Amino acid sequence: MDIQEIKQRFGIIGNAAELTRAIEVAIQVAPTDLSVLISGESGVGKESFPQIIHSYSHRKHGKYIAVNCGAIPEGTIDSELFGHEKGSFTGAMNDRKGYFEVTDGGTLFLDEIGELPLSTQVRLLRVLESGEFIRVGSSQVQKTNVRVIAATNVDLTKAIREGQFREDLYYRLNTVPIKIAPLRERSGDVLLLFRKFASDFAEKYKMPSIRLTEDAQKVMLNYRWPGNVRQLKNITEQISIIETERDISAAKLIHYLPSENMEVLPALYNKGFDEKTFSSEREILYKILFDMKKDMNDLKKLVHEVMESGKTPKTQEDSSQLFRKLYHEVEEDFISPQPTYPSPVILKNSVRDNIQDTEEFVEESLSLSDKEIEMIRKSLEKHNGKRKLAARELGISERTLYRKIKEYNIG
């Protein structure tokens, strides 16, 4: 079977050995009914491989349905997958067939499988092992003959250790693993993809195709592409529409490449910091801000105590000595346990007049949960309660937002 023909048929672009190997595995496993787990970062093009497997299997005349598990709210995902009986829950006005019933004899592609709730994972495991399922609100066992292909952009082995994914389901899905390499490991395909996208957009928008100068090509090859092929396609479309010049220099290209230097920023060291506690960059940022704010508060209190003692600097030499004292004590805070300071003292009138900032400090809440609730409420207000838009702005899935709203009882 010609690999190049398959690439053309399914719109796969690239000559990397890793990509070719993934296609070969998909073709080899297609005639069987084995479950397949496709893993890879977001934007690498995982959705093409279930179509290849289905098209070259004996189920190719059956239905093929792709389901994004992360886009379905937790409260309705069982109904979507397995169906429900009339009156089984509020709003269930009629009987409804689920995807496993509708796709009988075909292929069901479950994207973002790592987003499935644990209760749904139990139901899915039963279907995979015995082909049996029960509609929501029913007691009748039904049979189905569906081939399941799953995909994920998260580390399921880590999710298993954290109790978020069932180990038995993982091994049942991972009968045949297919790993899609990220674009940064396929640097030879970057320019090939760019030329293809540039040509497609030139034809779509009726304009000449954009071209990269030599220095722009170097920038393109050295960039890490965190969003992979999807990001490259979006950037190519932006440049095609916005730029009037068709020759794109490195200076112009850089304006379209988001900064991704977050991982090399300096971080404050703290012995009590546990990385497992902070599962997102947003939470890490809160931690850094919290530490910085605490250091500033301690510095203010130290200044107040020095001024209260009556040792106000009169000369430049006195100021230098005070600075060294402050610097020495703050430096010790970074390498030793933080001392417990008393509440800010009230300064005497004679001293208060010499200080610009004499406001009484009131510690504000920096609880991660409080900040998360505040951000969710602001985003929902901004988008008039539209959860899909709010979830997109917050950088989480709609199902995760739904769970957060329920967890925090946000009205």
Q: Do 203 and 160 fall within a single domain? A: no
Is the residue at 262 inside a domain? no
Is the residue at 360 inside a domain? no
Q: Do 227 and 318 fall within a single domain? A: no
Q: Do 236 and 146 fall within a single domain? A: no
Is the residue at 264 inside a domain? no
pLDDT digits (tens, 9 = 90+) for 371-410: 788 888 888 888 888 888 888 888 888 888 888 888 888 8
Taking the alpha carbons at both ends of the chain, their separation in whole angstroms is 57
Q: Do 174 and 207 fall within a single domain? A: no
Mean pLDDT of 323-331: 49
pLDDT digits (tens, 9 = 90+) for 143-165: 999 999 999 999 999 999 999 99
Q: Do 345 and 385 fall within a single domain? A: no
Q: Do 83 and 36 fall within a single domain? A: yes
Task: Tell me the pTM.
Answer: 0.62
Q: Which domain holds residue 69?
A: 3-181
- At residue 35's C-alpha, the angle toward residues 33 and 39, to 5°, is 140
Q: Do 164 and 32 fall within a single domain? A: yes
Confidence grade of residue 96 (pLDDT, cut at 50, 70, 90): very high
Q: How high is the pLDDT of residue 270?
A: 42
Picking from 181, 215, 243, the residue at the C-terminal end of a domain is 181
> CB–CB of 33/77 below 8 Å?
no
Q: How high is the pLDDT of residue 94?
A: 92
Q: Do 227 and 308 fall within a single domain? A: no
Q: How far apart are CA 256 and CA 235, in angstroms?
A: 7
Is the residue at 404 inside a domain? yes
The SS3 assignment for 54 reads helix
- At residue 366's C-alpha, the angle toward residues 361 and 372, to 5°, is 145
Q: Which residues fall within 8 angstroms of residue 146, CB to CB, at 6 or more apart?
A: 100, 103, 104, 105, 106, 107, 108, 127, 131
Q: Do 170 and 287 fall within a single domain? A: no
More confident site: 285 or 122: 122
Q: Which residues fall within 8 angstroms of residue 4, CB to CB, at 6 or more apart?
A: none
b/e sequence 364-379, b meaning 16+ C-beta within 10 Å: eeeeeeebbbeebeeb
State whether the Cα torsion 312-314-318-322 is positive or negative. Answer: positive
pLDDT digits (tens, 9 = 90+) for 276-320: 444 455 566 666 776 777 777 777 777 666 666 655 555 545 555
Q: How high is the pLDDT of residue 371?
A: 76
Q: How far apart are CA 215 and CA 195, in angstroms?
A: 16
Q: To 10 degrees, the CA torsion angle through 88, 89, 92, 96?
A: -50
Q: Do 38 and 131 fall within a single domain? A: yes
**Domain of residue 57, CATH code:** 3.40.50.300
| Total tally of structural domains belonging to the chain | 4
Q: Do 322 and 390 fall within a single domain? A: no
Q: How high is the pLDDT of residue 400?
A: 83
| E strand or H helix at 233 | helix 228-242
Q: Give me the helices (H) in 247-280, please.
A: 250-254
Q: How far apart are CA 89 and CA 107, in angstroms?
A: 28
> CB–CB of 236/195 below 8 Å?
no
Confidence grade of residue 347 (pLDDT, cut at 50, 70, 90): very low
Q: Do 240 and 130 fall within a single domain? A: no
Q: How far apart are CA 149 and CA 176, in angstroms?
A: 10
